Amino acid sequence: MGARKHSAPRRGSLGYSPRKRAARLVPRVKTWPEVDLGKPVPLGFIGYKAGMTHVYIVDDRQGSPTFGQEIFVPATVVEVPPVHVIAVRGYAYDPNRGLYTAGEAWVNPPSELELWRKIPTLGEFKESKLKELEEKIEKLREIRVIVATQPKMVGGLSKKKPDLLEVKIGGTSDLKAIFEYATSKLGKTIPFNEVFSVGQLIDVIAVTRGKGFQGPVKRWGVKELPRWHKHRKGSRRTGARSHGRGTWWEIPAAGQTGFHRRTEYNKRVLAYGENGLEITPAGGFLHYGLVRAPYALIAGSLPGTPKRPIVMRYPVRPPTWYLKMGVKEPQIVYVSLQSKQGN
């Protein structure tokens, strides 16, 4: 017999450590890409996950083995009602402190938005704040807007409190044009199709489904010890290896599983529609219901449970085939509207 092997590939990825609970349900976008579109455009949007279905589309990726053929694609329906622009914020740069807020101006939101549920101490709009920000335009590095969702328009939600998201305005290097665009949208709404186009790739940031406190077998995927041996302290435990000052952090251990902030890269927008009922399956989506607001159909699965806020942005690392092909609207042959309730 040969010598017993004492090494094996590690289970789980240390790149996701520490696996702790997300700090907020609506994730903050940490990186914004540099996009050259020749005009100002918001680089992100926020919606709510409704559920999944499947479609058949004609594969239009050059070099794909199934190019020109009908392929099966699972897809996620995200309800994307227009968002309200409630503030403009300018950022300056300092080598010692990085980006810092140089000024901001808030608008009086409409009463039906009920923003007071989110920000009870919101003051009145002051034109002087906007002028001060315009005077600092030469010192600014970035201009962002703060948008608020309209949960009352979402069919699967029962809450009234809007969610807020800070979105960078990009698409051009002309900061004055960006400032004019941001101020022109202050107090107005921005629809999904003004930000993204059908056929383009996007990055999706969301909080995954929470699974609570779990052991190392479920949390890290380590191998369970054989049960036919004597395991007085359990077959699903991992040995705690110490270096004298505590346990190694690389050792798989029990802890929080799920409810982590995760980013899914390069998801393709397959379709967009104004009437959500045309994409709702018979009986509605499980744990969600009917889709009444505008919707976006995104290829693949997305993190989180139904009703979870979904943050979408322009891709930070698009693949080569996408850069060569560009934005091209896919040809959808069939969209499944069968009931997903199960038996």
How many Cβ atoms are within 10 Å of 122's Cβ, its own excluded? 15
pLDDT at 74: 96
pLDDT at 342: 55
First-to-last CA distance in the chain? 53
- Hey, what are 319's tokens? 């693949």
How many Cβ atoms are within 10 Å of 332's Cβ, its own excluded? 16
* 335 vs 326: CA distance, rounded Å: 24
For residue 45, report the phi and psi dihedrals to the nearest 5 degrees: -155, 165
Q: Which domains does the chain have, with CATH numbers?
A: 41-209+258-335 (2.40.30.10)
- Hey, what are 8's tokens? 């094996």
The pTM for the full model equals 0.92
pLDDT at 3: 64
Per-residue pLDDT of the chain (343 residues; tens, 9 = 90+): 566 667 777 888 898 888 999 999 999 999 999 999 999 999 999 999 999 999 999 999 888 899 999 999 999 999 999 999 999 999 999 999 999 999 999 999 888 899 999 988 888 888 888 999 999 999 999 999 999 999 999 988 999 999 999 999 999 999 999 999 999 999 999 999 999 999 999 999 999 999 999 999 999 998 888 876 667 778 888 876 666 777 888 888 899 999 999 999 999 999 999 999 999 998 899 999 999 999 999 999 999 999 999 999 999 999 988 988 889 999 999 999 988 765 4
* Contact (CB, 8 A) for 172 and 40: yes
pLDDT at 243: 67
Q: What is the dihedral of CA 308, 311, 316, 318, to 10 degrees?
A: 60
Which stretches of the chain are DSSP H helices?
A: 127-135, 175-184, 216-220, 320-325
* 120 vs 107: CA distance, rounded Å: 14
Q: What is the 3-state secondary structure (H, E, C) of 110-167?
A: CHHHCHHHCCCCCCCCCHHHHHHHHHCCCCEEEEEEEEECCHHHCCCCCCCCCCEEEE
pLDDT at 61: 87
pLDDT at 251: 86
* 224 CB-side CA count, 13 A: 10
pLDDT at 343: 44
